[in-house]
A and B are shown apart, each in its own frame.
Chain A
Amino acid sequence: MYGRKASQLLKEFVSGEPGQLTGFNNDVFAQVIEECDGNILHLQALLRKMQEEGSNNQTNKNADHFGALVHHLSLVRNKRCLMAYVYNRAEVIQNLGWTIKHADLPAAVKEKLSISENEYFGKHSSNLQSYMLDLNLDLAVDMVPPKDPYIKVRVLEEIGEVLLSDQIANLAMHSILFLKRIDAESFISQGKMEELTS
């Protein structure tokens, strides 16, 4: 049945965890494109036949006419589905750009993206960065309303000496320290620290 493969693609996306990506389904995607190519061939053949017969499509709607219509609708539907698939994935990628820089993207996530998606992520995240640079204000921190300027964190990975906004700190693995929330946030989002809530 026309359009079934494309809707499979979308069902796969919807059934995933919201905000998370599964691997780009190149196989099914290519099959849908193939179906579209088939549709256009049939469509053009039917239209040519109708023109040769000289049938007036306003008054005389014969089987060929509706056949052509079915192919056209299948094409349009497939297009919508493919666009929806790519667009909805792109939205997830946009959100990713807020939490992580392109260079820091873990390999596990990277391999789930198609080549074009990877490129898009890079462009989008540098676009965000250039906006922040124009404003001279980092918008990727301060995601939750502040309660206390300092939070207690545990360092999960060896980070070493780092210049923070108010001090130079030695962030050794397993150490527990009081840091400014703004300083700690980027480390937490990279998974190098965790916040300790008592």
Chain B
Amino acid sequence: MESEGTDDYETLISTTDADLLKRSWRNEKAAPEILQFQSSLVQRSREQIQLMEETVEELIANDEDPLTVSLYQMDIDRTLFLLRSYLRTRLQKIEKFMFHIQKAEDLWARLSRQEQKFAKQSIEDLKTHLEQSVLSKLPDRYQSHLKQSVISEEADMGIFFYLNCTYIQICMFANNLISMFS
């Protein structure tokens, strides 16, 4: 029991921010949904990168061995890549599922402040684009971007899977049809 306790303690100590960032990045890459934004981890990583960049500049100023400098530089590059790829993966998920994320409160809360701003703007832009291109040209009662027509009770437009809509749900609307137009 005791040795297990120390193991845990040691793994805890040896888990650096770089490891944590790598783990978050891997999780984000593998998960289909958007995960909680690691704000303090991102903040710390950025500070660390800045610190390392300063160190590299110092090393160059002191005419240090080029090999040492380039090893530091490579470390910075790797951390930067992880950070960028992490943020990029999240942003691409937001682009893909923006309507869904906005609708689901728990998902929306997982975004950082800047990501929320980005998502809001993206939704606005895409909506305008869809309205200009398609919806404004359709009859009145078919102009929603979330519902197929006004008789739909919920958002059934399925905005992400359009190309799979090869079947028609016949008769589903039959009884609602009259009430829609009368």
Contact = CB atoms under 8 A, between A and B. Distances in A.
Interface in B20-67: 46
Interface string B134-146: 1001110010010
A84 interface: yes
B125 A127 contact: yes
B137 A33 contact: yes
Interface in A102-153: 114, 116-117, 119-120, 123-124, 127-128, 130-131, 134-135, 137-139, 141-142, 145-146, 148-149
Interface in A69-103: 69, 72-73, 75-77, 79-84, 86-88, 90-91, 94, 98
Given A10-B163, A82-B134, A131-B118, A69 B177 contact: yes
Contacts of B13: none
Interface in B61-101: 70, 73-74, 77-78, 80-81, 83-85, 87-88, 91, 95-96
Contacts of A81: 162
A83 B74 contact: no
Interface residues of A, number: 59
Contact of B149 (A58, A68, A75, A84): A75
A37 interface: yes
A190 interface: no
Interface stretch (A15-23, A44-52, A155-163, A168-176): A44-52
Interface stretch (B4-12, B102-110, B165-173): B165-173
10 contacts: A69-B170, A80-B148, A80-B162, A82-B134, A84-B162, A90-B126, A127-B122, A130-B121, A139-B84, A142-B85
Interface of B: 46, 70, 73-74, 77-78, 80-81, 83-85, 87-88, 91, 95-96, 114-115, 117-118, 121-122, 125-126, 128-130, 132-134, 137-139, 142, 145, 148-149, 157, 159, 162-163, 165, 168, 170-171, 173-175, 177-178, 181-182
